[in-house]
Chains A and B, each alone.
Chain A
Amino acid sequence: MTPLIETRKATRILRGEIDTTLVRDIDLAIHPGEFVAITGPSGSGKSSLMYLLGLLDTPTSGDVLIQGKSTARMDEDARAKLRLETLGFVFQFHFLLAEFSALANVTLPMRALGKLSDKAMRARGMDLLTRLGLKDHSHKRPDQLSGGQRQRVAIARALANDPQVILADEPTGNLDTASTEQVFGIIQTLVGEAGRSVIIVTHDPHLARRASRRLHVVDGQLAPVPEDD
């Protein structure tokens, strides 16, 4: 079975006065239906690894394959299209567009893809919001929503184009305990739907333990998961 995401000696070096190696020689594969947690101390490169897996960043050397396709030689637009079609993102900060309603934020990726009619997009957007318990908040702008609600809108937006992989970078990092539980619970339910995989970056071992697999990153390289975690 072709992995959804595969890396081959992926290395990312930040060029500057002093070169900083973010991640080095990463080889891994994410298969359909997997729930993968990326953990590691802060500054270990776990977010950088997620950005590489999500095509948000390009490896300095090595390759990232999406459903078997190499992305090393793709131009910016091709990578953007691949992101739009197959990947969904949730960040620590909700990153919703401040001027748009929850529904407009959710339908934005659909509109960018342009495969559905306006009506179908609205219907799908409402379905997603309803599923996330935000049916009555669809017209509200992000500043009228609570932190947990915003993050749920962000999840609905990540699901907009029914992606194969959801990548979440500390999605509960800014939330209180109750909201964390709710949002994490929702993310868990997304795993396995039509073979969908979820990759979550977290520093919280309790959450990480609920994943089906853990990738531990130390100093930009994969390392064994510590015993006491």
Chain B
Amino acid sequence: MGLAIDIAITHIRSRLRQTLVGVLGVATGVGFSVMMASLMEGSQRDFIAQLVDSLPHITISDDRRTPPPQPAALIYDEVEISNLSTVDRRRGIKNPLAVMADIESWAPAKVAPSVRANILLRQAGRDVGAVMLGIDPKREAEVSNIASKMVEGSLDNLVKASNAVLLGARLAERLGIRVGNTVTISSSGGKTMTATAVGIFRTGVAQVDDSQIYALTRSAQVLAGQTGLINELRLKANDALGARELAARIEAETGYKAVSWQEAHEDLINAFNIRNFIMYTVVGAILLVASFGTYNIISTITHEKTRDIAIMKSLGLRAALVRRIFVLEALVIGLIGMLAGFALGFAMTKALGAVEFRSPFGDATRLPVIYSPIHYGLAGAIALGASLIAAWLPARKAASVNPVEIIRGAS
């Protein structure tokens, strides 16, 4: 083994230019794989963050998927009953605190209670329909990113004034409402209240910016005409992609309708799946191309040594020892190249992550990149594997050739 290592190191050291080419070849392959993977997965994560995280992952409401059976139908199940007046149910989630505590005890998610009420905003003689979400600002911050979407004012302003509301930017623009203005809000039940605008938010989702306002739970309950009402629980799951399964389980456990973001936005799922497919295809293709480049360089280096292999074999060195020399060389070049590739990939990712884009509306955004050890591990393992195979195959072939064939050709 010592002899093989010695010969391998001498080869590597005395053919610096070739070693450098080999190392660079491996390094570029690894570097670009890492960079592309971090860009692709970064943009994928960003996509989730932008679209999915601005929505609640799961919304639990007091709705049911089927109308509740009437008592008469339960008792006389063989009889067709129609036109009985239905039994009214009290709206809202029963004992919401207990339900929340129950969900939080087992589900990997954060839960925030809210009251959803359809309202009319009245301003300067115009009536505009909107959805009011009554929230608890502290808990809301845990399940939504609304706090980071504030253009003016802040989420905490809600508790600083009585009947304070936050308005979507497009809604505020449409009605000409600024922070500090008063607006009149009336509910479908006929209740009316005067509220003060304390903040304006812009999520980038037109539907939300155009028709949503936030208020404290208490204010919304007053408008809904039911104290203590909580008719919606919103969840932010630790794993956004597992929301569908989690929602099904919550629905089974609590009996309330739980809608995952996947169910609510099937169009997003398609887009998401297509992006995933593109990501794996691109990263896979780059890894393939990179490993092919690595293979080419290493196998060329080994091929050039065919004569040396014949010489060593003719002297009486065992074929296995000769093969080992070249596999070791590839291992060293592959390892150095891999480490250089990690540095290159990291630097390129850093550089890409510093690129800024300006949109006409919002702030400057940067290319979304992530740094994942998995990318490095995968790119490194594939490069090393390709190097070893690239050395092994030609070395095996050269070592199995009768040295006479090469000696005869050379002399």
Contacts and interface: CB of A to CB of B under 8 A. Distances in A.
Contact of A95 (B6, B11, B407): B407
A193 interface: no
Contacts of A56: 314, 402-404, 407
Interface stretch (B28-36, B215-223, B240-248, B316-324): B316-324
Contacts of A81: 316, 318
Contacts of B359: none
B10 A76 contact: no
A84 B317 contact: yes
B321 A112 contact: yes
B100 interface: no
A170 B410 CA distance: 13
A83 interface: yes
B317 A80 contact: yes
Contacts of A89: 314-315
Nearest to A47: B408
A63 interface: no
Interface string B304-338: 00011001111111111100000000000000000
B15 A83 contact: no
B12 to A, nearest CB: 9
Interface in A75-124: 76-77, 80-85, 87, 89, 91-93, 95-100, 104, 108-109, 111-114
B411 interface: yes
B324 to A, nearest CB: 12
Interface in B382-411: 402-404, 407-408, 410-411
Contact of A84 (B6, B316, B402, B403): B316
A57 interface: yes
A89 B315 CA distance: 7
B364 interface: no
Contacts of A84: 315-317
B81 interface: no
B411 A170 contact: yes
Contacts of A77: 318-320
Given A56-B403, A170-B411, A99 B11 contact: yes
Contacts of A98: 308
Contacts of B308: 97-98
B101 interface: no
B153 to A, nearest CB: 74
B316 A80 contact: yes
A96 B314 CA distance: 12
Interface in A43-95: 47, 51, 56-57, 76-77, 80-85, 87, 89, 91-93, 95
B319 A80 contact: yes
Contacts of A80: 313, 316-319
A115 B31 CA distance: 46
A157 interface: yes
Nearest to B319: A76
A95 to B, nearest CB: 5
B319 A109 contact: no
Contacts of A92: 411
Contacts of A83: 314-316
B407 A91 contact: yes
B74 interface: no
Q: Which of A80, A87, A99, A111 has the most CB of B within 10 A?
A: A80
A112 B3 CA distance: 7
A91 B321 contact: no
B143 to A, nearest CB: 66
Nearest to B406: A95
B83 interface: no
B11 A112 contact: no
Nearest to A174: B411
Interface in A153-184: 157, 169-170, 173
A95 B316 contact: no
A112 B319 CA distance: 12
A83 B316 CA distance: 5
A57 B402 contact: yes
B402 to A, nearest CB: 6
Nearest to B313: A80
A34 B338 CA distance: 57
B105 interface: no
Interface centre among B15, B315, B320 (most CB of A within 10 A): B315
B66 interface: no
Nearest to B11: A99
Contacts of B307: 95
11 contacts: A56-B314, A57-B402, A80-B319, A83-B316, A87-B316, A96-B311, A97-B308, A97-B312, A104-B10, A112-B321, A157-B315
Interface of B: 3, 6-7, 10-11, 14-15, 307-308, 311-321, 402-404, 407-408, 410-411
Across the A-B interface, give the 9 residue pairs with the lowest CB-CB distance, nearest first. Answer: A84-B316, A83-B316, A99-B14, A92-B411, A57-B404, A95-B311, A80-B316, A93-B411, A112-B317
Interface of A: 47, 51, 56-57, 76-77, 80-85, 87, 89, 91-93, 95-100, 104, 108-109, 111-114, 157, 169-170, 173
